[in-house]
Amino acid sequence: MNCYTPLFAERLKEDSPDAIAWIRGNAEHPELNGIIRFFSMSMGGVLVNAEIFGLPDEDEQTIENDSVVSNFYAMHIHEVGDCEGAFENTGMHYNPKGAAHPGHAGDMPPLISNDGYAWLAFYDDRISVEEILGRSVIIHDGRDDFTTQPSGDAGTKLGCGVIYKS
């Protein structure tokens, strides 16, 4: 068992995140919504908890290019907190160290949706709450391939939320 497990579980039980992003869908997906909560951790880094509703899941898995396409949605922190229009002004992935993808500070694990619902919690020691305030979280319509530069071929921006201090 990881020595941080009880600490993470206890922090998630609190309903006092240090920052939040309220996610809303684009014009084609107005039913998409949710919240992403960011908790500063005493040892540094951030515990991230996402709960998203209304993801546009396919009814069946399909096969494209010999791989199964399922209900995975890429999620990234982008440079700019502008969720107007089609989220075209959010900039690139947050990447203060100029790393290759998927090493950007803003690269996050994918959401895995079941009937349009996804829940995820993870620890990230590449960011702090202070440095991501005012930026945006983007949910893309594709899965991240963790290879293609500079963004993992994640697809269209489905959802967006600006990160605010809570």
pTM: 0.88
Total residues found in the chain within this entry: 166
- Express each pLDDT in 106-118 by its tens digit: 999 999 999 999 9
Which of the pair, 87 or 60, is modelled with greater confidence? 87
Residue ranges covered by each domain of the chain: 5-12+19-165
* Residues linked to residue 67 through DSSP beta bridges, in sequence order: 64
pLDDT tens, residue by residue, 123-164: 999 999 999 999 999 999 988 888 888 887 888 999 999 999
Assess contact for 116 and 55: CB atoms under 8 A.
Answer: yes
DSSP per residue over 32-74, as a string?
Answer: -EEEEEEEE-TTSSEEEEEEEE-----SS-EEETTEEE-SEE-
Per-residue pLDDT, averaged over 16-25, amounts to 96
Question: Hey, which CATH number is domain 5-12+19-165, 3.40.50.150, 2.60.40.200, 3.40.50.2300, 3.40.50.12280?
Answer: 2.60.40.200
